[in-house]
Homo-oligomer: A and B are copies of this chain.
Amino acid sequence: MIKDFIDEESGEKVKHAVMNAITIDCVIFGFEGGKLEVLLVQHGQGISKGEWGLPGGWIKKTESIDSAAHRLLQELTDIDDVYLEQLKAFGRPDRYPLDRVITIGYYALVKKEDYNVKAGFTASDARWYKINELPDLIYDHGEIFKFSLKQLRQKVRQAPVGFNLLPEKFTLLQLMQLYEEILNVELDKPNFRRKFLKMKLLKGLDEKQKGVSHRAAKLYKFDPEIYKKLTEKGFNFEF
């Protein structure tokens, strides 16, 4: 099967052979105003015109699945350095009404502030939805989203991936609210603080929050290097 693509450098239309009957769909998570959000696209053509679904695409014959997912993300959001991980393959025979298509689900964690969504040429519109205000999704995308949330909840407790949703510099309260939102729990501020600082993953900055009408909190930064060194020493992140 041959599909149209936009060449990165020239911007021109080019054709590539893609895998048959296999697609990619990606749950893109963002975090803003204390709420977890997902980027959805509105289909501009085909049988599901006007309906919302996860951004997706084809896999070129010559690229790995992971590369395809990265490319998809870049085409849609201009984002380059995001946290991206495969969920699994979804393949109920009737998941796509017109044909037998298996899709490979991914989820991404992005820093919302850093990037602008650009509607790709396969989507007439794209926007962020709070995860508890999602519209009905096409095909089995609801199922994929549900699975991704489960996966995210698990992952966030076993690896320091939450930072991918926050700005470079953040306060401990922001971090805590992120955990509260993802895990759907209430946490105790002093205890959370202690627990996290004890791991020594965060680099405290000589800088404070700005523009708040109360005592400004200290800003912190997650340092992947420190984490790497700690894991090499046998440290195991756990929340």
- CA of A167 to CA of B117 in the docked complex: distance in angstroms? 54
Stretch at the interface among A4-12, A19-27, A119-127, A225-233: A19-27
Q: Which residues of B have CB within 8 Å of A89?
A: 65, 86, 88-89, 104
Closest to A158 in B: B154
**A80 is an interface residue with CB less than 8 A from chain B:** no
A90 surroundings in chain B (CB, below 8 A):
65
Chain A 86-99: CB-based contact to B (< 8 A → 1; otherwise 0):
11111111000000
CB atoms of A93 and B63 under 8 A apart: yes
Q: How far is the CA of A11 from the CA of B149 in the complex (A)?
A: 44
Question: Which residues of A64-89 are within 8 A (CB) of B?
Answer: 64-66, 86-89
> How far is the CB of A139 from the nearest CB of chain B, in Å?
14
A100 at the interface (CB under 8 A from B): yes
Asked if A102 is at the interface (CB within 8 A of a chain B CB), the reply is: yes
The chain A residues found within 8 Å of chain B, CB to CB, are: 19-22, 59, 61-66, 86-93, 100, 102, 104, 154, 158
Contact residue among B22, B61, B62, B93 (Cβ-Cβ distance under 8 Å from A22): B22
Q: Is the Cβ of B91 less than 8 Å from the Cβ of A64?
A: yes
Cβ–Cβ contact B64 & A92, under 8 A? yes
Structural contact, A19 and B102, CB atoms closer than 8 A? yes
Alpha-carbon distance A136/B63, docked complex (angstroms):
26
Kindly name the residue among A65, A87, A154 whose own CB sees the greatest number of chain B CB atoms within 10 A: A65
CB distance from A10 to the nearest CB of B (A): 23
A59 to B21, CA, bound (A): 12
Closest to A19 in B: B21
Chain B hits for A86, CB < 8 A: 88-89
A66 contact set on B, CB distance < 8 A? 91
B contact residues around A87 at 8 Å (CB): 88
Enumerate chain B residues within 8 angstroms of A88, measured Cβ to Cβ.
Answer: 86-89
